[in-house]
Amino acid sequence: MSKNAPLTEEDVCARVRDSVLEQRLSPGTKLTEESLCAVFGVGRTTVRRAFLLLKRDNIIELQKNRGAVVASPSPEEARQVFESRLMVETALLKTTIENIAAEDLNQLRTHLQEEKIALERADIARWIRLTGEFHLLLARLAKNQLMYAFLEQLVFQTSLIVALYGPHGAALNCSGDDHRLLVDALENNDHSKARNILVEHLKTIETQLEFTPRQPLNDLQSIFAEARTA
Q: Say whether both 62 and 79 belong to one domain.
A: no
Please state, in angstroms and rounded to a whole number, the distance separating the CA atoms of residues 43 and 47.
7
Examine residue 63 and state whether it is found in any structural domain, yes or no: yes
CB contact at 8 A, 24 and 125: yes
Q: Say whether both 154 and 113 belong to one domain.
A: yes
How many domains, the chain? 2
Q: Counting Cβ atoms within 10 Å, is residue 119 exposed (0-12), middle (13-18) or buried (19+)? A: middle
Q: Which of 178, 198, 131 lies closest to 159, judged by CA? A: 131
Q: Which residues contact 222 (CB under 8 A, 6 or more apart)?
A: none
Q: Say whether both 92 and 59 belong to one domain.
A: no
Integer Rg of the chain from CA: 18
Beta strand pairing call for 60-63 and 30-31: unpaired
Q: Say whether both 67 and 79 belong to one domain.
A: no
Could you report the average pLDDT of every consecutive run of 10 residues in the chain (230 residues)?
76 92 88 92 95 93 85 94 97 92 96 94 90 94 95 93 76 72 94 95 92 63 58
State which H helix or E strand residue 68 sits in.
strand 67-70
pLDDT score at 172:
54
Q: Say whether both 134 and 173 belong to one domain.
A: yes
Q: Say whether both 103 and 182 belong to one domain.
A: yes
Examine residue 3 and state whether it is found in any structural domain, yes or no: no
- DSSP label at residue 30: E
CB contact at 8 A, 64 and 28: no
pLDDT score at 213:
59
pLDDT score at 169:
45
Q: Say whether both 90 and 199 belong to one domain.
A: yes
Examine residue 2 and state whether it is found in any structural domain, yes or no: no
- Read off the CATH number of the domain in which 223 is found: 1.10.10.10
Examine residue 225 and state whether it is found in any structural domain, yes or no: yes
Can you give the residue range of the structural domain that contains 22?
9-72+213-229
Q: Say whether both 52 and 87 belong to one domain.
A: no
Q: Say whether both 117 and 199 belong to one domain.
A: yes
Q: Say whether both 132 and 145 belong to one domain.
A: yes
Q: Which residues contact 86 (CB under 8 A, 6 or more apart)?
A: 199, 202, 203
Examine residue 141 and state whether it is found in any structural domain, yes or no: yes
Examine residue 19 and state whether it is found in any structural domain, yes or no: yes
pLDDT score at 25:
86
Q: Say whether both 118 and 196 belong to one domain.
A: yes
Q: Say whether both 203 and 138 belong to one domain.
A: yes
Examine residue 57 and state whether it is found in any structural domain, yes or no: yes
Please state, in angstroms and rounded to a whole number, the distance separating the CA atoms of residues 113 and 205.
22
Examine residue 4 and state whether it is found in any structural domain, yes or no: no
pLDDT score at 149:
94
